[in-house]
Amino acid sequence: MLAATPLRFHNSRGTFSSERLTTWRLKVVGVGGGTGFTTLGIVRHVDPANVTLLDQSPHQLDKARQKEALKGVQIMEGDAEDLPFPTDTFDRYVSAGRELIPVQLALHDLHIYI
């Protein structure tokens, strides 16, 4: 069982189902966050200081760092298959690239780190 709750993203509208973002103080991680497109939706509901964007592409992360709305977000390079976080770091997670790694590995890692 996962300790954190996944967020639903409506790709056609570019919005989140915000009922899972229940308080401004939630700690949220975006794994495979790329340029920060999805993270822009998160910071509408959660304090940017409590949001972490993780991606393995420095080029994509540079684009995320240029977005004014993401200035308070911790933006870091890292691998979705080897998450660099202690257990129970986050309350919610988002993974836009969930099909890029084996599902069982992703679930195992999320259980450990979140």
Helix boundaries (H) for 1-114: 37-42, 58-65, 103-113
Mean of all residue pLDDT scores within the chain: 78
Q: Pick the more confident residue, 14 or 84.
A: 84
How many Cβ atoms sit within 10 Å of the Cβ of residue 2?
10
Using DSSP, state whether 2 is helix, strand or coil. coil
- pLDDT for 7-32, tens place per residue? 554 444 444 555 566 678 899 999 99
Name 68's Cβ contacts closer than 8 Å, sequence gap at least 6.
none
Domains within the chain, CATH numbers bracketed:
23-113 (3.40.50.150)
Give the angle subtended at the CA of 24 by the CAs of 66 and 33, to the nearest 5°: 35
Confidence check: pLDDT of 96 > 90? no
At residue 35, the pLDDT reads 95
The pTM assigned to this predicted structure is: 0.72
Name 55's Cβ contacts closer than 8 Å, sequence gap at least 6.
32, 33, 34, 61, 64, 77, 78
Confidence check: pLDDT of 36 > 60? yes
